[in-house]
Structure 1
Amino acid sequence: MSFGAADPAGATGVQADLAAFSALSCTGLAVTTALLISDSARVEDLQDIDPDWVADQARVILEDMTMAAFKVGAITNLEQVAAVAEILSDYPDAPLILDPFSSRLPALPDDDAEELMTAIRQLLVPQATLLMLSQVELGRMAETWRESGDGSEGEDMLQSDVEHLLALGCEFVLVTGTASSSGALANTLYGADGVISHDAWQHLAGPFIGAGNTLSAALTAFMARGADVPEAVAAAQEYTVGALAHAQRYGMGKFVPNRFFHLQSAQDMQ
């Protein structure tokens, strides 16, 4: 089950999640948290869904079906955070992949953004099996708890911020967009014992929309199928790189990952 925004362009949000789930042999279910007015280039506007409607969407499905995993994507207000957190607390044994930040969505005022990040940190992070966020997003979230005058910087600060999140109860943190020894960007997976994996990938030109969404959806699918977190991270990254390598530009905006690339390649070989 995926919680997230409905993107008419299908590049991000629950539409993108459902496509990735299907491509990876999972049946996906979606709970909509917001409606976007968007195309492949930008989001023009956003309409929040009432928190009670968000909760009711999920409850009705959950009374009917069993969930193998949950993904939480974009949540747009404090009341939604509380509603989703309450629902997920009833399913502690199902993996929860938390990917709550999206650069595609309109920015909130600074005070509102800080309150939303604080609520996510307090209510959802402790329930997460895996929290996925960029290094920039990690830094912004850390501003909600760092004390002024903290002397940490660079890699030490990154490590300290991750340790804070793990101490809240989150089992793993995947930080995207970290630096590698070659100067390329990499994804770093952290657990209770420190760095578990640090994977650099060849830069693809793009520009892309929905890359992070594809990665977190793939993580959810692989964990729903029984993979542990390190296995899921490795498989999801490989899948995402393939989807980006076969991305298509459907309109005048950015390239959208081709989430069915491996199925189409297999058909072409027949």
Structure 2
Amino acid sequence: MPEEQQGPVVHQARRGPVILITIDRPKARNALNLRVLTDIAAALAAAEADPDIRAAVLTGGAEVFSAGADVDMLSGQTAATYAASPNAAAFAAIRDTGLPVVAAVSGYCLGGGCEIALGCDLVVASDTAVLGQPEIALGIIPGAGGTQLWGRRAGRGPQALAALTGASVDAFAARRMGLVDRVVPAAALVETAVEIAAGIAARAPLAVRAAKTAMRAGADMPLTAALDHEIALLAPLLASEDAAEGIAAFQDKRPATFKGR
């Protein structure tokens, strides 16, 4: 029976205000095909529209995050067809979600899988994680951020090594260079990521999304413009109910209850 008829390839589970999204193609080492990509994008879009969900964790489980994109997705593509393809649109939708996303990475995190992980806001890696962009070995380059995202996290040198040689790095090297934010044992990976996401979810939702917007947009702006953009995002927050609640809670020495308005 074809895989497409064997059940879901992406699972969702609620953990309070956190949505846990898990890639589930173990026989293919969680390789990304169009169905996986669109299911992840759809899960994030639905979560972003749900006011009760305030953060997401994206994982492949404790064994492998993703060994990369199915080569079949690239075979026969041209510049024009790939740019307009649903694969590219799904990668962009995952990367551009307004929901804060924590990637929980274990085992192989290669090619398109690595691009998805590094496009998340935070990356938690297990001590078995291996990150890389092996596309150069196939005579191509990454097409979903692999020539850009390493450099933004780790600098130009690590980016050049990844994109030009296809060399991979283990979790500890990735942590030292800033590619990942925390390294934990594989058995604790998902729960650690959910805990971090829950900490984000406990903050004021409007402020969290504004902070994400400021960071993402500011990366493409000169500093002065980025600072102006930050102020523009702050201004409406100052008049929000959440800001009033946060200040009152601080003064009253009690936990704040944020409502996203």
Structure with higher strand content: 1
Larger radius of gyration: 2
Settle same-fold status: TM greater than 0.5.
Answer: no
TM-score by length of 1: 0.38
Structure with higher helix content: 2
Give the number of the structure with larger relative contact order, counting CA–CA contacts within 8 Å between residues 6 or more apart: 1
